[in-house]
């Protein structure tokens, strides 16, 4: 999978507590792709999936949703499609409720795919449960459902290079408590050309935004570094001591213990931030 280079020694990484060693960075991502029978969004600039009905309701900021959209531009939305390619900071004036793993001008016509699936696979749910229990030991949780969306080496609008971003969002619930896991495996660009970014570097202009918008003016969260050049370092930042991973309880959203400033990047010899 990928290069197999241990992320802990060169790029940051995941620490296996039980084994007391660094695991390959690929373990950050949950399985995705054709082998998992994933669906794909259309090859369309600013495109989205169809409206996806969920087998179980997902609670986001105290509201239950039974459908969502996977939007090519790095957004999972609950009420309406999101074609907007230049991100706005949260809270949004128009009240759209959504999670933005990496809201920017993705163009999968230029390269990459956006995969998604709804799943009750026991192996995956057991892995998600183990992870959530490690990060939130005081919250009883056993995952019974998950939705996995993965942006696989996606290009940016106006790109003249082969740069691609790979990141993932996982929604999971036990029917009462809900979590969202954001995994950032490889981020090579921050901005599309239509957002005043450089076509050759994918940098500059209005950089990507990451976070959550509840739909009201009160409950939202902007991941540190959003809409600044620092967002390219999100693969090395975390709120759960796993570089490249951000995890949030979202049924009744809480930011307890979540950094409010851009975290310092770990050096090459450390697994933890």
In tens, the pLDDT along 158-213 reads 999 999 999 999 999 999 999 999 999 999 999 999 999 999 999 999 999 999 99
Q: pTM of the predicted model, to two decimals? A: 0.86
CA distances from 63 to 94, 171, 176, 257 (A): 17, 15, 11, 23
Give the Cα separation of 115 and 7 in Å (integer): 24
Least Cα distance to 189 among 238, 220, 151, 242 occurs for: 151
Give the Cα separation of 26 and 127 in Å (integer): 14
Query: Dihedral of CA 49/53/58/61: which sign?
Result: positive
So where are the chain's domains?
42-249
DSSP secondary structure string for all residues of 121-158: -HHHHHHHHHHHHHH-TTS-----EEEEEEEEEE-BTT
Main-chain dihedrals φ then ψ at residue 17, nearest 5 degrees: -65, -45
Least Cα distance to 222 among 246, 195, 188, 192 occurs for: 246
Take residue 230 and report the two structure tokens written for it: 């620092």
Residue 273: pLDDT band with limits 50, 70, 90: very low
End-to-end CA, the chain:
25
Take residue 76 and report the two structure tokens written for it: 């999972």
In tens, the pLDDT along 3-47 reads 333 333 333 333 333 333 344 445 799 999 999 999 999 999 999
For residues 236 and 252, the model is more confident at 236
- Location of structure tokens 């896991």: 181
In tens, the pLDDT along 69-94 reads 999 999 999 989 999 999 998 989 88
The pLDDT assigned to 260 comes to 46
For residues 255 and 69, the model is more confident at 69
pLDDT exceeding 90 applies to what percent of the chain? 77
């Amino acid at each position: 999978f990928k290069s197999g280079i241990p992320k802990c020694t060169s790029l940051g990484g995941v620490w296996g507590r039980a084994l007391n060693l660094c695991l390959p960075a690929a373990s950050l991502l949950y399985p995705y792709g054709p082998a998992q029978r994933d669906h794909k969004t259309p090859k369309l600039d600013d495109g989205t999936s169809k409206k996806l009905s969920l087998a179980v309701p997902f609670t986001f900021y105290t509201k239950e949703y039974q459908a969502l959209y996977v939007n090519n531009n790095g957004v999972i939305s609950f009420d309406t499609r999101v074609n907007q390619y230049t991100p706005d900071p949260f809270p949004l004036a128009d009240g759209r409720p959504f999670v933005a793993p990496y809201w920017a001008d993705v163009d999968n016509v230029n390269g990459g795919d956006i995969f998604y699936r709804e799943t009750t696979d026991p192996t995956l749910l057991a892995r998600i449960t183990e992870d959530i229990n490690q990060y939130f030991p005081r919250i009883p949780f056993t995952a019974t459902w998950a939705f996995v969306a993965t942006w696989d080496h996606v290009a940016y609008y106006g790109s003249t290079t082969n740069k691609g971003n790979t990141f993932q969002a996982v929604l999971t619930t036990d029917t009462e408590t809900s979590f969202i896991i954001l995994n950032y495996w490889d981020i090579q660009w921050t901005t599309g050309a239509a957002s005043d970014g450089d076509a050759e570097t994918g940098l500059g202009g209005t950089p990507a935004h990451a976070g959550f918008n509840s739909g009201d003016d009160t409950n939202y969260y902007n991941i540190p570094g959003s809409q600044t050049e620092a967002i390219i370092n999100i693969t090395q930042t975390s709120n759960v001591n796993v570089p490249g991973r951000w995890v949030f309880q979202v049924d009744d959203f809480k930011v307890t213990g979540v950094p409010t400033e851009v975290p310092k990047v770990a050096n090459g010899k450390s697994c933890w931030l």
